Amino acid sequence: MTVIGAVIGGFTNHIAIKMLFRPHNPIYIGSWRVPFTPGLIPKRREDLARQLGKTVVNYLLTPEMFRKKLFTVKNRELVEGWLNDKIRTLLFTDEKTLNDWLTQIGAAHMPDIIEQKVDQAVAEQLDKIKNVLSNESIESLLPESWEAKANKKIPEMSRYILEKAGGYFESPEGTQTIKRLIDDFLESKGTVGGMIQMFLGDSKSLVGRVQKEINKFIHAPGTMVLLTNLLSNEWQKVKVQSVTNLFGDLDFTSTTNRIQSYAKKELALQSRLDKPLVHYWQDGPEWFAGNIVPQITEKGFALAESQLEDAIKRLNLEQIVKEQVDSFPVSVLEDLVLGISKKEFKMITVLGFVLGGLIGIIQGIVVTIF
């Protein structure tokens, strides 16, 4: 009885364990399905997959777990170091010129476009200037401070003109000019002029008198007022005119061409683009490391953390786990479970033998006594 009980106990436990997985598929006799086929796990695989998906999402791959593992100070430092390294080795490298970067992004024609834009900008600005000079008065173009200074300068200009005139007419050159003017005047009067010369003698005698009268006129207070008023009146007439009315039509075509040529020559775009970025910005990597990379990392981590739960929901991990488990062959699930609990299942079988043997012993004792 002990042997029979042990065999029955161990064998039934062994069969029960096998029935968790076997058979893998239902067995039919005609249209009748044999009970307990397929095994428990194959039969309930869909429920198992669904439950595993819920377990993974609710207890394993949770948003909090991702936060603890991903958004750490160490990971942030690693990302900053990676970004700094890429900026230094890719962007600020001596091996790539600005022309190379433009070619790489499909903008090799950019220098020509820039030069065309420069020509266009120069032409447009000069056209605007031409329109302004043609339609606007000088008064409207001048700043108020300039106009005020010009008004203050008019008396100074009058004084300067009179000083220069007085000095000129007192000089030998001025004396010769006065003498020539007197001679020309007398000659233009014909006989009357000749008679005057006969009475007065040589025109040299008149030069001194004329110089004296000119000097009195120049230094007279009224002359200063007269000249200042004259200049002020002329300035008022000039202010209300446009530049083109004052100077005539201006040649802007040649001016435009010269300015365009000068701008492109000074720009020297092709030669400048043949140099790497580090040539113009040697401390660029350090500036990025101190100003840009920390901010990008900070904002990137903050954005990723704020969108973490939505991203996990969009991934639908529960459905992914369910689909993966559903796609496993039953033999894989069996190997998975047995790989974890093989020893325990053996102990259950052994326990069945022991319990069956104990039951057999108890039965033998009961039969012997009664």
Structural domain harbouring 322: 1-96+282-370
| Whether residue 5 has pLDDT greater than 90 | no
Q: Which of 241, 256, 291 is the last residue of a domain?
A: 241
Mean pLDDT of the chain: 82
Using the 8-state DSSP alphabet, how is residue 34 labeled?
P
What residues pair up with 33 in beta bridges, in sequence order?
28
- Tally helices (H) and strands (E) across the chain: 22, 2
| Whether residue 218 has pLDDT greater than 80 | yes
| Whether residue 85 has pLDDT greater than 90 | yes
Give a yes or no: residue 232 inside a domain: yes
Give a yes or no: residue 129 inside a domain: no
Cβ atoms of 179 and 204 within 8 Å: the answer is yes
Give a yes or no: residue 111 inside a domain: no
Mean pLDDT, residues 59-73: 85
User: Which tens digits make up the pLDDT trace of 234-287?
Assistant: 888 888 887 777 666 667 788 888 888 998 888 888 888 889 988 888 899 999
Give a yes or no: residue 154 inside a domain: yes
Give a yes or no: residue 339 inside a domain: yes
- Count of other CB atoms within 10 angstroms of residue 42: 21
Give a yes or no: residue 272 inside a domain: no
Give a yes or no: residue 127 inside a domain: no
Q: How confident is the model at residue 335 (pLDDT cuts 50, 70, 90)?
A: confident
Give a yes or no: residue 254 inside a domain: no
237 and 289 fall within a common domain? no
- Count of other CB atoms within 10 angstroms of residue 112: 11
| Whether residue 296 has pLDDT greater than 90 | yes
Half-sphere exposure of residue 25, counting CA atoms within 13 Å on the CB side?
3
| pTM of this structure | 0.51
218 and 298 fall within a common domain? no
Mean pLDDT, residues 75-100: 90
Residue with tokens 């000119």: 214
89 and 144 fall within a common domain? no
Q: What percent of the chain has pLDDT over 70?
A: 88
- Chain Cα centroid distance, residue 305: 25
Q: What percent of the chain has pLDDT over 90?
A: 9
User: Which tens digits make up the pLDDT trace of 156-215?
Assistant: 898 898 888 888 888 888 888 877 777 776 666 666 555 555 555 555 667 777 788 888
Count of the separate structural domains present in the chain = 2
| Whether residue 84 has pLDDT greater than 60 | yes
Structure tokens that stand for 69 in this block? 């593992």
Q: Which of 241, 274, 309 is the last residue of a domain?
A: 241
300 and 237 fall within a common domain? no
Structure tokens that stand for 265 in this block? 């020559």
86 and 141 fall within a common domain? no
